[in-house]
Chains A and B, each alone.
Chain A
């Protein structure tokens, strides 16, 4: 079985390298070991989304039963998105679960994830806090996602208001990421974030 998995990954790897998406720098795939079981994926944040200009790294683990079972994929780069856990990077996407088909490829997966960044599905959330913000306060969601893209994925949009508030919390002895999570979860209301952190 492992034989087919390695054979497929080898082939897919070549395919992705030659693909037009790679030429456009939209997706990237990198082998991490010789047994073709661990790969690093990269997708560019799609234009006209809060993720634009960011570069998102993915951990891809190929199970022994690949391609009869889906690859295990999660975000390494921290991201603010309703269908991706802001804590673990776990992804809620049907093709990575029961909608997987053996004829699909890693390229399909990377492109589907990129599509997920363009079109979130807040009714099938992975991160409940993010999903709620998305539904109740879309502007706040966009601002937060852009800020995370800037900080973690190298996106170009600097938000000094966010940075200031985080600095205030850091000054109170809170660790930076923890401060960002608290502020993001409470719509950047400093008082509420502080309350939550110290309660």
Chain B
């Protein structure tokens, strides 16, 4: 982990960069193994990544900030804003900046798009009127961003505190009307005295930075602060080395191979909608469909904007607000008058429901099986314990049974996630092949499960053979259908 980070720093500092070099550099780790067999060819789930602690992420980000700050001769806090608004792609920012520095600074909301009005800069006396708190104060009490909109220090402080309390950090703008210039980190911190506010601000902005960085992903495990780092932005399986949570690196949700990130999302939304639509609609809090943070509805308006990621969505259907321009009525009408349905459409709907239920039942069933098999494993553990106590072998002798149970869980997990994949797949020979392989995998998994449940009476060689077959079926299916 440490090693790969050092490599990347070396690469960045003496780069005079074309886009190609950028990608070469990010794949530089491959060079070493070029003569050996590429593990990617054997294992379709192969994935290179590191688990980083907060300090390590901070260092990684700060090093990038420093490099850019030196390259462009701009203060680090501005370099940070530039990187944050450009997905931390230092080469692209450098190129943009060298092409047109003014435009780059305007696009990142560091500079205003119109030059500041000279009126604001001329002072008639040493006293200035703060239009926010409506008081006259000595001009030394005033500060402004690059837009030259002057406000008193007390107002800046309150503005920042109010925003931070709403979870906003890197996105805090100037207080003037129609001004979108952002307050950079050093400006905000200069106006924050209370230690808990400073801490909150830094915590929120850290989260924003990680979220805007394509190579970083927060571990979704509860109360876990590990950040997973990978240069391979794919829907691959990452396992947190601290809390052992397994998740998809690309979307941060439960791992879902062979299904795509967007397909699994569609599927999970569908399942949630169809099972408890009523509860769902009447609830006062929902999760933002984009960043999944919990949002409370406290006004009558159905056009919601997530305070965290700024995603605009519809409260009723959780759809993207942009798509509601012309279709909004359909959305609200359906929820309000569910009885309006035409007869011909009715038959179609029944057919669609039948199809959905077919896949859903299997999806749900494997999910339940996974949980039941966990209980089986517990029972197995206590039976083996008894065996060991009564002199029937040692724990090491029985270890293979646990390996088998873990493999079973892994296979069944994949099988569960083949059902949404199949549901959204278009008919044709490819789907036939998929469903054939799926059926094969299913059969071998049930065989394996049967044998594990009868562990003590199953021949060890027989069981290990079955493990091998099941895992081969799983790998074959993933090889053929993952990442296509």
Q: Which A residues form the contact surface with B (CB < 8 A)?
A: 1, 4, 7-8, 10-12, 65, 67-69, 72, 74, 85, 87-92, 97-98, 101-104, 108, 123-126, 128-129, 131-132
How many angstroms between the C-alpha atoms of A8 and B131 in the bound complex?
9
> 19 additional contacts, CB 8 Å, given A4-B132, A101-B178, A102-B175?
A4-B133, A11-B134, A67-B132, A68-B132, A72-B299, A85-B301, A87-B300, A89-B300, A90-B300, A97-B305, A101-B174, A101-B175, A101-B176, A102-B132, A103-B149, A103-B151, A108-B177, A124-B303, A128-B331
B310 touches A (CB below 8 Å): yes
Q: Which B residues form the contact surface with A (CB < 8 A)?
A: 131-135, 149, 151, 155, 158-159, 162-163, 173-179, 299-303, 305, 310, 325-326, 328-329, 331-333
Query: Using Cβ atoms and an 8 Å threshold, which residues of chain A touch B328?
Result: 125, 128, 131-132
How many angstroms between the C-alpha atoms of A143 and B423 in the bound complex?
48
Q: Please name the residue on chain A nearest to B161 by beta carbon.
A: A68
Do A103 and B131 touch across chains, with their CB atoms under 8 A apart? yes
Q: Which one, B173, B176, B177, B303, contacts A126 given CB within 8 A?
A: B303
Query: Using Cβ atoms and an 8 Å threshold, which residues of chain A touch B175?
Result: 101-103
A197 to chain B, nearest CB (A): 13
How many angstroms between the C-alpha atoms of A87 and B300 in the bound complex?
10
Instruction: Choose among A4, A11, A91, A126 the residue with the greatest number of B CB atoms under 10 Å from its CB.
Output: A4
Do A132 and B329 touch across chains, with their CB atoms under 8 A apart? yes
Say whether, besides A4-B133, A108-B177, A90 and B162 are in contact (CB < 8 Å): no
Do A88 and B329 touch across chains, with their CB atoms under 8 A apart? no
A189 to chain B, nearest CB (A): 16
Q: Please name the residue on chain A nearest to B155 by beta carbon.
A: A102
Do A8 and B178 touch across chains, with their CB atoms under 8 A apart? no
Query: Using Cβ atoms and an 8 Å threshold, which residues of chain A touch B163?
Result: 68
Query: Using Cβ atoms and an 8 Å threshold, which residues of chain A touch B179?
Result: 101
Query: Using Cβ atoms and an 8 Å threshold, which residues of chain A touch B159?
Result: 68, 102
Query: Using Cβ atoms and an 8 Å threshold, which residues of chain A touch B326?
Result: 123
B170 to chain A, nearest CB (A): 15
Query: Using Cβ atoms and an 8 Å threshold, which residues of chain A touch B134?
Result: 7-8, 10-12
Query: Using Cβ atoms and an 8 Å threshold, which residues of chain B touch A74?
Result: 300
A154 to chain B, nearest CB (A): 25
Query: Using Cβ atoms and an 8 Å threshold, which residues of chain A touch B132?
Result: 4, 8, 67-68, 102-103
Selected A-B contacts with CB under 8 Å, 6 pairs: A7-B133, A7-B134, A8-B132, A103-B131, A103-B132, A123-B325
Do A88 and B300 touch across chains, with their CB atoms under 8 A apart? yes
Q: Top 9 A-B pairs ranked by shortest CB distance? A: A90-B300, A102-B175, A11-B134, A68-B162, A123-B325, A128-B332, A132-B329, A88-B300, A102-B132
Query: Using Cβ atoms and an 8 Å threshold, which residues of chain B touch A132?
Result: 328-329
Q: Which one, B133, B173, B177, B329, contacts A128 given CB within 8 A?
A: B329
B165 to chain A, nearest CB (A): 9
How many angstroms between the C-alpha atoms of A92 and B315 in the bound complex?
13
Query: Using Cβ atoms and an 8 Å threshold, which residues of chain B touch A88?
Result: 300
Q: Which one, A8, A68, A72, A92, contacts B303 given CB within 8 A?
A: A92
How many angstroms between the C-alpha atoms of A104 and B174 in the bound complex?
12
How many angstroms between the C-alpha atoms of A129 and B333 in the bound complex?
9
